[in-house]
């Protein structure tokens, strides 16, 4: 009788763990932090722009944060994205942009210029280099505070200097922590955002709309975030989260082979996550 009872309690058809192209993957139940899927989940890899999840998290954790504070865009930010051939929000030198707008510019088009502006604003020090170094220090302290042992940041945007890495498990935990902030949640589920900035002469500039690089927002029902990443070393990465029937599943794929493939990998893992989240 006991054996029959045990069998009856098992699901009729157990979900089979999917095969993904990405070299690393991790999924967890966001509410319970229960692990649902792993593939090389603790192997350190380059993270590309998924780094910016931590950039946003550090900014949003500042005490007495004023999201309407205006930041003047410096030539250094523009020169930086040009020199690195980096993804950008196309911020205009001399424009005054609010911190809230910078966060949208950071997370939707993955603007490295927005990342630089935020690091320069929220790091401490008398020089830009010192402030950036201080901000990256805050990113690493936040990782340590979360108990992450396989994560290190040496940049504010994922364009690392050879020492910027994390793992699927760690990135998922960073994202889960960031998603506790309502401003972060609102930003990462936004498909399009149009910023109105203030020019040098005091007039209003309506920026070209920023489109979220996370294709899951349009192609996977229930998607609520989080962030894409790519790069020569990182390949194609995606930190993803979706809510269905009151359950939120969150996870990461690192080093997939294309934009389409990272999304296909993520969808497989989300489907599996919802099937096994309990």
- The residues annotated as belonging to the active site are 49, 52, 110
- Identify which of 251, 94, 232, 104 has the alpha carbon closest to the alpha carbon of residue 158: 232
- Identify which of 215, 222, 223, 211 has the alpha carbon closest to the alpha carbon of residue 256: 215
Distance CA 153, CA 130 (A): 16
Neighbour count for residue 101 (Cβ, 10 Å): 26
Quick check: 74 and 117 in contact, CB under 8 A?
Answer: yes
SS3 of 256, please? strand
Helices then strands (H, E): number in the chain? 10, 11
The secondary element (H helix, E strand) that includes residue 266 is helix 259-276
Neighbour count for residue 146 (Cβ, 10 Å): 15
- Identify which of 264, 250, 244 has the alpha carbon closest to the alpha carbon of residue 53: 250
């Amino acid at each position: 009788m006991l054996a029959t009872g045990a069998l009856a309690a098992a699901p009729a058809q157990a979900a089979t763990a999917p095969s993904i192209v990405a070299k690393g993957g991790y999924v967890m139940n966001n509410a319970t932090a229960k692990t649902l899927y792993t593939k090389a989940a603790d192997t350190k890899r380059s993270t590309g722009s998924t780094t910016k999840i931590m950039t946003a998290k550090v900014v949003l954790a500042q005490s007495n944060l004023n999201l309407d504070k205006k930041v003047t865009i410096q030539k250094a930010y523009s020169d930086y994205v040009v020199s690195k051939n980096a993804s950008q929000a196309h911020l205009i030198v001399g424009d005054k942009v609010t911190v809230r707008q910078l966060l949208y510019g950071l997370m939707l088009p993955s603007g490295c210029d927005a990342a630089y502006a935020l690091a320069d604003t929220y790091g401490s020090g008398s020089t830009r280099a010192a402030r950036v170094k201080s901000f990256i220090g805050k990113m690493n302290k936040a990782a340590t505070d979360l108990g992450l042992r396989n994560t290190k940041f040496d940049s504010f945007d994922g364009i690392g200097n050879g020492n910027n890495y994390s793992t699927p498990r760690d990135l998922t935990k960073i994202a889960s922590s960031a998603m506790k902030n309502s401003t972060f949640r609102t930003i990462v589920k936004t498909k399009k955002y149009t910023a109105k900035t203030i020019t040098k002469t005091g007039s209003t500039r309506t920026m070209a709309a920023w489109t979220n690089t996370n294709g899951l927002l349009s192609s996977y029902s229930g998607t609520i975030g989080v962030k894409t990443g790519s790069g020569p070393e990182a390949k194609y990465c995606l930190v993803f989260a979706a809510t269905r029937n009151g359950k939120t599943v969150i996870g990461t794929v690192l080093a997939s082979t294309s934009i389409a493939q990272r999304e296909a990998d993520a969808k497989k893992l989300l489907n599996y996550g919802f099937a096994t989240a309990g």
